[in-house]
């Protein structure tokens, strides 16, 4: 066998094997990246749903606070009127 062919085979075969491995690994990393992108996208949608629910709860609590405030103000006015009535006696 010619020494030139032997040198090319000695260097070329492992190089081709390594390049093939790199290309296969790169395609698998691309698959993993697309899988992770879809997973993170799904998580973002789920977090948006959770945020929407918390906003709804916050709005309900604010409404409830306003209701209690108005009711307590009404009770305070009734008590003031009764106290004024008692003081006038």
Q: What is the pLDDT of residues 20-48, one digit of tens each?
A: 999 999 889 988 999 999 999 989 999 99
Joined tokens for residue 80: 């003031």
CA distance 89 to 87: 5
Residue 18's pLDDT is 93
Residue 70's pLDDT is 94
Residue 89's pLDDT is 75
CA distance 41 to 29: 18
Produce one character per residue of 33-68: b if its CB has 16 or more CB atoms within 10 Å, e if not: eeeeeeeeeeeeeeeeeeeeeeeeeeeeeeeeeeee
Q: How many CB atoms lie within 10 A of CB 4?
A: 8
The pLDDT tens digits for 49-86 are: 999 999 999 999 999 999 999 999 999 999 999 999 98
CA distance 49 to 45: 6
């Amino acid at each position: 066998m010619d020494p030139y062919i032997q040198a090319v085979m000695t260097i070329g075969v492992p190089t081709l094997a390594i390049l093939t491995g790199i290309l296969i690994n790169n395609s698998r990393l691309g698959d993993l990246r697309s899988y992770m992108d879809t997973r993170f996208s799904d998580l973002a949608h789920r977090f948006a749903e959770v945020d929407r629910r918390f906003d709804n709860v916050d709005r309900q609590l604010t409404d409830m606070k306003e209701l209690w405030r108005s009711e307590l103000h009404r009770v305070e006015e009734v008590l003031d009127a009764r106290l004024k009535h008692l003081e006038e006696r």
